[in-house]
Structure 1
């Protein structure tokens, strides 16, 4: 599956989960607050929080694909989009803002999966479901949608071995892993090493 198609599939899954959770989740009562009953077809407000804008995919693919799919599933729904620009503290503030705006559900691609946990907890306490998208966020999330990160690492490793061919055993491979705060990076590494072990230096 190519990168663009993979993003389409993930975005579609995230939005489908989001709309379903929002429709169900707002019918609950919490802390004596009046139940906010939502019926299918009613307008929902979806908070979309993406982690950074240096990688072209977020602004060029993820945001427009998610917004398009929301409109296909729910023409009356509104997406409130913000980008944390790689700042974990900014993203925490953005979650707080979404809670204040009383959004129905949050799609969250976290900057830092650990530091965002307290914000996820706040959303949970406010009866706002959080769909962790792309990166698994810590805290009481309601759903998680992503691709198979370990399999991506395996595919990358197989492609590398194919390209270097017979030079693999004698060549020196330098492996650069992603940011330690991104749990996906560890899974990419795990998948790649499962293929490369014993075949390269």
Structure 2
């Protein structure tokens, strides 16, 4: 039951894409959005529905290969804790999408900070390993971590429309080492 939590404090689009890329990198995984103000990912049911009605047997394990996304629907992480625990127990790989604020503490799941690699030092340093999303600016990593290539426009558009990129997509493939990194374990 490996699970990783994605925390993207600086960029909303990257915050929507990062969990999808991490999940797609392993083939079959569940993305659970813990941010009540998060993106409106397509699909039903939502995490709020699962909290209200309880998870169905079909929700507790993958029915087919691929990425399943459980959009939030307006429920806070504390209210969803029981349902999330049940999902974590049944899925082999789970990606938790965290809200950008506040910084996560005491989650119980390793947190993967995802930071934009931009010039100028606009954002505070990660304070440990992180995933760094490259931009057109060529910069060295400010600390230990994984560098992602700039995603193609087709990758971004496909993920935002609920479609997975083509098999072997460079940006998705770059997420694979993230599953093996220590991230505070």
TM-score (norm 1): 0.32
TM-score (norm 2): 0.34
More strand by share: 2
More helix by share: 1
Larger RCO (CA within 8 A; separation ≥ 6): 2
Which structure has the bigger radius of gyration?
Answer: 1
